[in-house]
Chains A and B, each alone.
Chain A
Amino acid sequence: MNTSTVIQVENLTKRFGNFTAVDTISFEVKKGEIFGFLGANGAGKTTAIKMLIGLSKPTDGMGKVAGFDIAKEPEQIKKNIGYMSQKFSLYNDLTVKQNIRFFGGIYGLSKEKIRQKTHTILTELDLESVAKKPVAELPLGWKQRLAFAISMVHEPEIVFLDEPTGGVDPNVRRQFWETIYYVAGQGRTVFVTTHYMDEAEYCDRVSIMVDGKIEALDTPNTLKKQFNATSMDEVFLKLAR
């Protein structure tokens, strides 16, 4: 495995009874890449992600994340990745500060490190004025940026974002993507699923899943040429048909 490859998947398969949710998919993701993982609802995106982050055991095939085997070393993987789920996943009844501290705590950061991280996150996201307010009182866009920052509180190599921008307006989405670029600029890998096709254009490379299989994988520009399309939306429609 190339040193700059941080995710490597070969013939990964997940079956539930007779139903094959993920069907022999293979791909590689390089360090610092923004990798778009696209597909319609039910195409198998979430099942694939769950296997990569160690929540679900593969039926067949192999995969390595951050150099660890997904079937045998899920505990090692968990220490090296961040994850933001499509459901909003902070504690609404806890304050902004308490949320940061809690997640810092469960990732085993030292007290000093937690204090430092809290300060950094609050200043970077400009949340100092609401640090002691329950998260429930923040606007959705702020909550999502906070959730993203918190998913990286332990400074992981790779961060998995499962539809991070669902339900927010285009303006906030653009801001969110700026943060993603900033993170990738630090050398971290961002693995992101989305169903907004305009967002697919922002990715370095995208894969498109249809019925459990990866039907296309390349840079947005190459894909557009390959499918003779003007936008990713069109590529997606041609594939899904």
Chain B
Amino acid sequence: MINVFWAFVKKEWYHIIRDKRTLLILFGMPVAQVLLFGYAISTEFKGAEIDVLDYAQDESSVQLIHHLQSSGHFTLHNILTSEQEMEKGFKEGTTKLVAVIPRDFDKELFNGQPITLQLITDGSDPNNANTLVQYATTMLNDFQREQLSMRSTPFQIRVESRMLYNPQLVSAYTFIPGTIALILLIVCAMLTSLTIAKEKELGTMEILLVSPLPPLVIILGKVTPYAVLAFIDAVLILLLGYFVFKVPVLGSVALLLFCCLLYVLVGLSLGTLISTRSSSQQQAMMSSLMGLMMPSLILSGFIFPLSSMPGILQLIGQIIPATYFIEILKGIMLRGVGLQFVYLEILVLLGMVMVLLAFAWKNFNVRLQ
């Protein structure tokens, strides 16, 4: 039986190396996605152009304007003189943020009175606006502290923040785990469901079923090469992350690979389930794209935080395997945690494998009747 199995795997291998599209998905996509997420999609920014409406025009306000530019995150585009000029910058797209410094800025700063400093941003790009306001607020607080400490006020709170596990807030730290989750799903679920659906579409599946091959060997023979390739992909992405974006693996590599294996199993059972349900490649493709890729991209916490979503979406997020896998990856890679901190997620994935396999097996047998 083992020879029969190898004959099958060998045939599957020929299919893969002869099909440029599959090869592209297997090796082009992970590389492209990592580089794209790494260089193009980044929440960090540099040199955002700002305008300042300076009513005070005194020593302190000039210092503040210098301070804002000191970090390199902001560049001063214009100093405005009246409110009427504010909108022009937004409309022309030359400015992303306007800081309005009040007339009595200097006096209020040194008298310890509450200061109202207005920040106006372009809300048509909310994510960006939020980030800009956060940066600006931090810088304003810094400025206040500097000024006040020069005059040694006795009571003050110094806030020192440190971002643990990702001190520089590098976005690569979040997209490497996310990309692994997504690529493994594409390779395991989408490619396997496509290849099984292809056999059905071409009629070769019928021939395989008439042969003495047990159905289990057919399925195993079809998915094994993809499981191996998925593994290679996972390692490829980890290496890319490590060497190009300096994303570390602080925890146990063995545990990490074990979790990848578990997730590969989830993907394969999903792929088999989809393929038992679809009779054409197109159908399999649509099911995997709409049913797996989109939710995994949007609702897994990969790009958007799950906690800020409406309840129903959070609920859907909870049944997506990628959600748990990304948690596990972040834990092991970035926080360096061991099994005792990720065992719950591992159990959830194990449960998913069981349920999905049971469904796939049932469906497969029903189809044979």
CB within 8 A of A91: which of B11, B209, B213? B11
Judge whether B107 is part of the interface by a CB distance below 8 angstroms: no
- What is the CA–CA distance of A168 and B212 in the complex, to the nearest angstrom? 30
Set of chain A residues within 8 Å of B203, measured between Cβ atoms: 85-89
Judge whether A197 is part of the interface by a CB distance below 8 angstroms: no
Closest to B204 in A: A89
Q: How many residues of B contact A (CB 8 A)?
A: 24
Set of chain A residues within 8 Å of B59, measured between Cβ atoms: none
Are A106 and B208 touching (Cβ within 8 A)?
Answer: yes
- Interface SS of chain B: helix
Binds B, one of A34-42, A76-84, A120-128: A76-84
- What is the CA–CA distance of A78 and B368 in the complex, to the nearest angstrom? 14
Are A94 and B210 touching (Cβ within 8 A)?
Answer: no
Are A105 and B369 touching (Cβ within 8 A)?
Answer: no
- What is the CA–CA distance of A92 and B19 in the complex, to the nearest angstrom? 12
Are B212 and A98 touching (Cβ within 8 A)?
Answer: no
B1-36 to A contact mask, C-beta < 8 Å, 1/0? 001101110110011001100000000000000000
Are A87 and B202 touching (Cβ within 8 A)?
Answer: yes
Set of chain A residues within 8 Å of B6, measured between Cβ atoms: 105
Judge whether B206 is part of the interface by a CB distance below 8 angstroms: yes
- What is the CA–CA distance of A57 and B4 in the complex, to the nearest angstrom? 26
Judge whether B207 is part of the interface by a CB distance below 8 angstroms: yes
Set of chain A residues within 8 Å of B19, measured between Cβ atoms: 93
- What is the CA–CA distance of A180 and B359 in the complex, to the nearest angstrom? 43
Within 8 A of B (CB), among A100-114: 101-108
- Shortest distance between the CB of A211 and any CB in chain B (Å): 23
Judge whether A53 is part of the interface by a CB distance below 8 angstroms: yes
Within 8 A of B (CB), among A44-99: 53-57, 75, 78-79, 81, 83, 85-94, 98
Q: List 7 A-B contacts (CB under 8 A).
A: A87-B203, A89-B204, A94-B11, A102-B8, A105-B3, A107-B212, A151-B207
Q: A89-B202, A89-B204, A102-B8 are in contact. List 4 more A-B contacts (CB 8 A).
A: A83-B207, A87-B202, A94-B11, A105-B10
